[in-house]
A and B are shown apart, each in its own frame.
Chain A
Amino acid sequence: DGGITQSPKYLFRKEGQNVTLSCEQNLNHDAMYWYRQDPGQGLRLIYYSQIVNDFQKGDIAEGYSVSREKKESFPLTVTSAQKNPTAFYLCASSSFGLAETQYFGPGTRLLVL
């Protein structure tokens, strides 16, 4: 089935540790996005990529890094520089264009030990 997968579903990070969240899509979408959602709040854009080997910072990129080596994959690394990483992380993808709908993965819940 076509869709977006994120893993793991839950992730625990120790102080000073980098962790990587996986996002894979088989929808043949050009654009991929990472959002952060804090309790009771809307989605804030971390990074996005419109083409392989290229990506741009969103509104809250500090403490995060990404790569886009394959069209299907857009992993997000939460670095030790991110002092408040506890949140729900959503990955999304879409074809490129104004009318295109963004589809979302099921999310990863990141908790700090």
Chain B
Amino acid sequence: AQTVTQSQPEMSVQEAETVTLSCTYDTSESDYYLFWYKQPPSRQMILVIRQEAYKQQNATENRFSVNFQKAAKSFSLKISDSQLGDAAMYFCAYRSPSNDYKLSFGAGTTVTVRA
């Protein structure tokens, strides 16, 4: 299985501020997809954003954006204007065609939002 590393077990952010979550991955492939999923206290996994490796432009979804550095194998998530509803566990995931399109997940980062 591919290795996905999230080095920050926990992050805390003040409401309305910005927080960045880091993710690195190990691969020798050139074509793959990267995903960020959110798991709130309800434990329902929700897709936040995704990025194709061949696209140089960083993906953006409203207040969520990524910084994709292909050479460095880095895929960080930035949450801008943090809201109380952003409090959750965030998982980075990797998918490639050589592995039956299976997802490999990082261990997750718990985000706490302070009011």
Query: Is A113 in contact with chain B by the CB < 8 A criterion?
Result: no
Question: CB distance B97 to A98 under 8 Å?
Answer: yes
Interface of B is mostly: loop
Question: CB distance B50 to A101 under 8 Å?
Answer: yes
Task: From known contacts A31-B101, A88-B43, A107-B44, infer whether A98 and B106 are also in contact, taking CB-CB under 8 Å.
Answer: no
Question: CB distance B108 to A41 under 8 Å?
Answer: yes
Chain A residues packing against B (C-beta within 8 Å): 31, 33, 40-45, 48, 50, 56, 58-59, 88, 90, 92, 94, 96-104, 106-107
Interface residues on chain B, size class: 20 to 34
- Partner of B107 from the list A42, A92, A97, A107 (CB cut-off 8 Å) is A42
Question: CB distance B95 to A98 under 8 Å?
Answer: yes
Question: CB distance A101 to B100 under 8 Å?
Answer: no
Identify the closest chain A residue to B4 (Cβ).
A42
